[in-house]
A and B are shown apart, each in its own frame.
Chain A
Amino acid sequence: MAKHVVARASEIPPGHRKIVSVRGREIGIFNLGGEFFALFNRCPHQGAALCTGEIVSRLESTIPGDYRLSRPGEMLRCPWHCWEFDIRTGQSWCESNSVHARTFPVTTEPLAAETVDVTIAERYVVVTL
């Protein structure tokens, strides 16, 4: 496992994502209210580019007539067959015990940037894989 610097944190504002390539693998980096999460850009169902799907919320109800919107902007809907995944955990909503999108640990870390005379302290997004 190695750490890979994939983006400046400022490139991915809250509610946005960026798809990066790490050792030949495409990974989607998502910013949920300042927290970063990374998902493999491959749907566990049939391999669609999962991370290009729509970012949605969760619609919940225990019985018809009782409706709740929860987890705003924290679900990802696959562009192919519309299975929905929890961006935080990769869990699918349709078979949460058996179907998961692969996730990777992400951190943001201050790094010394690449200049000679000046060191710019900025936070970078770092994926471990």
Chain B
Amino acid sequence: MTLQHGAIDCDIHPTVPSVRDLLPHLEPYWREHILRRGLERDNFDISAYPSGSPLTSRPDWRGAGGLAATNLASIQAQLLDPFRPSAAICNVLHGAQMMMSEDLSLALCRGINNWLIAEFLDRDPRLRASITVPIHSAELAAEEVERLAGDQRFVQVLLLAMAEVPLGRRQMWPLYRVAEKYGLPIGIHAGSSFRHPPSAGGWGSLYLEDYVSFAQGFAGALNSLLAEGVFQKFPDLKVVLIESGVTWMPASMWRIDKTWRGVRSEVPWLAQLPTEIIRDRVRMTLQPFDAPPDVAAVTRVLEQLGSDDMLLFSTDYPHWQFDGMDALPAGLPPALIQKILFDNPRATYPRLAALHPVGETTS
């Protein structure tokens, strides 16, 4: 389905062309460190989205070197101008977030955030971004959030679903505290730092396994946030599951409610059905929408989600989730489309709440 103008696109992926392009945006110490080690010759692609994989980019969006979305001109030509969103949130997927050295991880994440500001945010008012943070150090991640929170174009903090520890663990709490303080949702993107296999059963052989198993990773991350009491500890924190797919959620909701009824005494802070907390505090981006393309099946999934507030529009540009201009999956009811495109993103991201309604923003 073709899109109305003025939507808020909650997941697009500018691609860092190479670590060389980050050098001007690094602090001098770390620029020198990287050059001494020859690290600028590696691009730190993340294994969750290998640059050559068909899913990583639509073929018609790839540039000369095979990468897509490496500069503002292509993002404007391929996404912003044809789809005409009122805002699009940049989520950079890069190995910077998961370097073994937490200091180097922070330095590169800072470089990416500075690159985002200089190359994108300063040059197109439609763009917003998530703060790229070192996911294995909540303390350093919180420091980077503090550095950038004053810039209202950063609307969220970006984590990956699978890291060294489940995301609800207390060592992550310093980051959640600072995110809550600044009204920044925690965006959890598909992906893993691959310290553990993406499937709980061990290492798979093929990309198909990894990609499909990401849904398990999301369920694990969400169960951890719920069970550890993150939503009670940080009552204003919101969580956005990005590129998680949607259809695993109803089954996971039913499963955690059912189990919770019998083990509530173990997690007494969960004083209501976990599903009620999910509907209230957890959001999911639309693409990839993994329901079958028929109205009856889509309607059933939406009913099972049980809330019109949960889905946020995304193209997932330049990942290959749809062709042409068909960014909206078939079978969504019209009233819900309006919510997905605009109302839900505005309600989720306090820093987007003031965006004009659809129709007034197209230029």
Contacts and interface: CB of A to CB of B under 8 A. Distances in A.
B64 interface: no
Contacts of B268: 59-61, 67
B233 interface: yes
B260 A94 contact: yes
Contacts of A62: 232, 269, 271
B33 interface: no
Interface in A47-82: 56, 58-64, 67, 81-82
Interface residues of A, number: 16
Given A61-B268, A64-B233, A81 B261 contact: yes
A84 interface: yes
Contacts of A95: 261, 273
B41 interface: no
Contacts of B229: 61, 63-64
Nearest to A94: B261
A93 interface: yes
Contacts of B264: 84, 93-94
Contacts of B139: none
Contact of B261 (A58, A61, A64, A83): A83
Interface of B: 170, 228-229, 232-233, 260-265, 268-269, 271, 273
Contacts of A56: 265
A61 B262 contact: no
B263 A82 contact: yes
Given A64-B232, A95-B273, 6 more contacts: A58-B265, A59-B268, A61-B268, A63-B229, A82-B263, A83-B262
A62 B233 CA distance: 9
A85 to B, nearest CB: 12
Contacts of A67: 268
Interface of A: 56, 58-64, 67, 81-84, 93-95
A84 B271 CA distance: 13
B233 A63 contact: yes
Contacts of B271: 62
Nearest to B168: A64
A8 B103 CA distance: 74
Contacts of A64: 170, 228-229, 232-233, 269
A106 B264 CA distance: 29
7 contacts: A58-B265, A59-B265, A59-B268, A61-B229, A63-B229, A64-B228, A82-B262
B132 to A, nearest CB: 28
A63 B232 contact: yes
Nearest to A67: B268
Contacts of B273: 94-95
B199 to A, nearest CB: 28
A83 B273 CA distance: 13
A59 B228 CA distance: 16
Contacts of A81: 261-262
Nearest to A78: B262
Contacts of A58: 265
A60 B268 CA distance: 5
A84 B260 CA distance: 11
A59 B229 CA distance: 15
B58 to A, nearest CB: 44
A17 to B, nearest CB: 20
A63 B233 CA distance: 6
B121 to A, nearest CB: 36
Contacts of B263: 82
A110 B347 CA distance: 64
The interface centre, meaning the residue of B170, B228, B260, B271 with most chain A CB atoms within 10 A of its CB, is B271
Nearest to B261: A94
A55 to B, nearest CB: 13
Nearest to A99: B261
A35 to B, nearest CB: 23
A67 B265 CA distance: 11
Nearest to A82: B262
Contacts of A93: 264-265
Contacts of A63: 229, 232-233, 269
* Closest 6 pairs between A and B when the two form their complex, measured CB to CB: A64-B229, A82-B262, A94-B261, A61-B268, A59-B265, A81-B262
Contacts of B233: 63-64
A125 B58 CA distance: 77
Nearest to B263: A82
Contacts of A59: 265, 268
A82 B260 CA distance: 10
